[in-house]
Structure 1
Amino acid sequence: MTPVTGPLGDTRRPPTAVEPAERGATRIADRVVAKIAAQAAREALDTLPPDAVPPHATVVVHREIARVRVHLELGYPCDIGGRCNAVRRHVAERVDALTGMEVPEVTVQVERLHLVPPAAAVQGRTR
């Protein structure tokens, strides 16, 4: 909208403009942020063990700050700490990028480890 010039040369808002305080607000539900976080955890893990339950998340949002808890299952043996750090970092980045919320805390809870046989054992004996 273009400003309107008053009789004294002052610039005023057009009479149809709505004041910022009266425009309303956008609120993103906690469950939507939780779905975004769970999808981001799946992206960070790449592959899951065959019988693993996909990651899920719970979120508490207060104002524009989201605290996230991700529950997941991992294949074992693996670098558990490294995988959890990758999930933590990716979830924080994706939630921030998609919602604009600050994510100071992402807690990763490993619910279960699945024993994954080495690739040689799966294919059988070789000479």
Structure 2
Amino acid sequence: MAADRVAPAERGATTIADRVVAKIATQAAREALGRRPEGASPPHAMVVVHHDTARVRVSLELDYPGDIGRQCGAVRRQVTQRVRTLAGMEVPEVAVQVERLHSVHSRHSAQGRIR
């Protein structure tokens, strides 16, 4: 009788919804970027999960001028690491889409204007 029992680790399945992985990815993008540019929308992630693999697209806004490539690379690394750690999924693709650049110069010049 005991030989017919299935080990607890081999029963059932765990499914993590796309929206849960997207929330993890969004938080990871925030962590990677640190502060958000003044007036910028927070990062947003869309995820497609298939078995134990997540494909992630992160949309964000950045300060300009700045090292856009470095910031996008930091987001990719952080999202990959956090999704792997918290959801146990492989992340073969993190597409980072920069929606808008917020110019530091135009913000400072606009603050100095008086009507």
TM over 0.5: yes
Name 1:59's counterpart in structure 2: 47
C-alpha distance in 1, partners of 2:37/2:63?
6
CA displacement at 1:63 relative to structure 2: 0.8
Of 82, 89, 102, 1:101 maps to 89
Matched with 2:34 is 46
**Is 1:110 matched up with 2:110?**
no
Confirm whether residue 26 of structure 1 aligns to residue 14 of structure 2.
yes
Number of aligned residue pairs: give it: 109
Q: Which runs of 5+ in 1 are unaligned?
A: 1-12
Structure 2 unaligned spans of 5+: none
C-alpha separation in 2, matches of 1:21 and 1:88: 32
Q: What is the CA–CA distance in structure 2 between the aligned matches of 1:21 and 1:75, rounded to whole Å?
A: 47
Alignment partners' CA distance in 2, 1:113 and 1:86: 17
Q: TM-score w.r.t. structure 2 length?
A: 0.85
Give the 3 Å change call, closer, same or farther, for CA 85–21 of structure 1 in structure 2: closer
Are 1:35 and 2:8 counterparts? no
CA-to-partner distance for each residue in 1:91-110, whole Å, 9 max, x for gaps?
00110010110001000000
Q: Percent identity?
A: 67
Q: Secondary structure at the match of 1:95?
A: helix
Question: Quick one: distance in 1 between partners of 2:103 and 2:9?
Answer: 56
Q: Distance in 2 between matches of 1:89 and 1:61?
A: 18
- Which protein shows a greater Rg? 1
Aligned to 1:75, which of 42, 63, 68?
A: 63
RMSD over aligned Cα atoms:
2.4
Bigger helix share: 2
If asked which structure has higher relative contact order (CA below 8 Å, sep 6+), I would say 2
Give 1:80 deviation, angstroms. 0.5
Q: Give the TM-score normalised by structure 1.
A: 0.77
Q: Using the alignment, how far apart are the partners of 1:101 and 1:80 within structure 2?
A: 27
